[in-house]
Structure 1
Amino acid sequence: MTLEACADIVRRGDPDRFRAAMAAPPAARGVLFPIYALNVEAARAPYVTTEPLIAEMRLQWWRDALAEIAAGETARRHEVATPLGALLDAEGCALLDGVVAARRWDVAGDRFEDADALLAHLDALAGGLMWAAARALGATDEAACRALGVAGGLAGWLAAVPAFVARDRAPLPDDGDAAIAALARRGLALVGPVSRLARPAALAAWEAVPVLRRAAAEPARVREGRLTRAPAVRQARLLRMALLG
């Protein structure tokens, strides 16, 4: 039930957030890794089974675990739930419950009605996750953190479009060039500064701007899976952002 176990889950399941957490100050990692590990476990739940009911049960396990922590009960003995029990208050649990609940889309895979519906989903998912992490670090600028989280979540979502399609999901309400470019521009408009206390959590969105700019300029990259930049370029940007704040 250690921080190392949470870090290993994130390293294997969400390499980008692992790199972002490792670029954060060491003291922040004890907050970031358990929260990010919960996100990995919830993201994995719909895809480890072909039975929707079993996937829903896996997600409900985490929602129940968070409800118990919020109620002040002893956290379940689990490599992620146990450290979360020492970290979260009731509001933090409610935020992460929203993140877990949003993963139900991965079970049903319904098409989003429009861009607003997709962005609302990303607010619950990536926006909620970033705000939960930033709040646990002592930040109070919820609107800025959520907006940046949505921008980062949208960048990752667009980069994953081919993977979603391969799983018979409909990740975009409209996959035409004009619609993709407009969506990317909306994501770019959400990017802004966050408070000093929120910066370790904000590092998770380090590739939001370059990815969204690519999507806005060349929407075909989204359908073709060509949004992600070279690893060395991405790493250099992360290090620069970590150093400059």
Structure 2
Amino acid sequence: MAAPPQARRVLFPLFAFNLEVARAPWVVSEPMLAEIRLQWWREALEEIAEGQPARRHEVALPLAGALDAEGARLLDGLVAARRADLERAPFADAAALWTYLDATAGTLHWVAARALGPAEEEVVRAAGQAQGLSAWLAAVPELEARGRLPLPDGRPEAVSALAREGLARLAHARRRRARVSRAARAALIDVGGAGAMLARAAAEPARVAAGRLRSGPMRARLALIAAAAGRW
């Protein structure tokens, strides 16, 4: 809702799609049922990419209007990456986690940005990866409660190092912010609060396990205002 009205026709269906896919492993009792839900979305995206009529679904139908063929193919990779959520084992190492974050959050933000205006892919993906990590770290207590081992290494020094890498990627994206057009920056509004969360995780990694990463309402609102103005 903080995005310009013309951007919302792209952002609403894209982020609704992302929520549908992210929820798939958690709203069913059997992994096979989650596989079926993910496969349904892969087939829907294939139909969009091929120019076939969109499925009559509350998210799939507007999503088809927001994507071109390349965007649909990119999102297919996002859905494939979400199959990792069906596993309970931790990522093998930090590199594997970053690969997952790029395929999910990085791809989501890139598809949104390229649909809105000119942008440099590497910059958008770096910002998306940082946002993805901040959200992942904030979700650690809930993921653990559901039987998932979300971190490749849960030691405080490893969590701090992971957060510092996220801050480095965010700083890299910010230095090149001019390579993302004003129109495309609307795709990165949710990146606004990532820096503060990652800084807390880097300085006090115990906050991650305690679920104390998110900003208070006032700080979150100020971050959103700044991001909506293109200063994520």
TM-score with structure 1 setting the length: 0.88
Alignment equivalent of 1:237, drawn from 223, 227, 230: 223
Q: State the match for 2:76 in structure 1.
A: 97
Corresponding residue SS for 1:103: helix
Q: State the match for 2:201 in structure 1.
A: 215
What does residue range 45-60 of structure 1 map to in structure 2 within 5 Å?
A: 45-60=24-39
Q: State the match for 1:82 in structure 2.
A: 61
Q: State the match for 1:175 in structure 2.
A: 154
User: For residues 210 and 58 of structure 1, what CA distance do their matches in structure 2 show?
Assistant: 34
Alignment equivalent of 1:152, drawn from 131, 138, 143: 131
What does residue range 1-245 of structure 1 map to in structure 2 within 5 Å?
A: 22-191=1-170, 192-193=173-174, 194=177, 195=180, 196-243=182-229, 245=231
The 8 Å contact of residues 189 and 230 in structure 2, kept in 1 or not, is answered as no
Residue type of the alignment partner of 1:228: R
User: For residues 241 and 66 of structure 1, what CA distance do their matches in structure 2 show?
Assistant: 30
1:198: Cα distance to partner?
2.2
Call closer, same or farther: CA 1:97–1:224 in 2, change over 3 Å: same
Q: Deviations over 1:44-63 (max 9, x none)?
A: 11111111111100010000
The 8 Å contact of residues 118 and 173 in structure 1, kept in 2 or not, is answered as yes
4+ aligned runs moved over 2 Å, structure 1:
none
1:138: Cα distance to partner?
2.0
Structure 2 unaligned blocks of 5 or more = none
Corresponding residue SS for 1:23: coil
User: For residues 112 and 198 of structure 1, what CA distance do their matches in structure 2 show?
Assistant: 32
User: For residues 93 and 109 of structure 1, what CA distance do their matches in structure 2 show?
Assistant: 28
1:69: Cα distance to partner?
0.6
Pairwise CA RMSD of aligned residues?
Answer: 1.1
Structure 1 unaligned blocks of 5 or more = 1-21
User: For residues 109 and 163 of structure 2, what CA distance do their matches in structure 1 show?
Assistant: 19
Corresponding residue SS for 1:148: helix
Residue type of the alignment partner of 1:52: P
- Larger mean CA deviation between 32-41 and 223-232 belongs to 223-232
Residue type of the alignment partner of 1:163: E
The percentage of aligned residue pairs carrying the same residue is 56
User: For residues 140 and 94 of structure 1, what CA distance do their matches in structure 2 show?
Assistant: 18
User: For residues 36 and 243 of structure 1, what CA distance do their matches in structure 2 show?
Assistant: 20
1:244: Cα distance to partner?
5.4
Corresponding residue SS for 2:56: coil
The 8 Å contact of residues 185 and 230 in structure 2, kept in 1 or not, is answered as no
Q: State the match for 1:18 in structure 2.
A: none
The 8 Å contact of residues 154 and 187 in structure 1, kept in 2 or not, is answered as yes
The 8 Å contact of residues 145 and 198 in structure 1, kept in 2 or not, is answered as no
Q: Deviations over 1:129-177 (max 9, x none)?
A: 0001001112331000000000000001001100110011010000111
Q: State the match for 1:15 in structure 2.
A: none
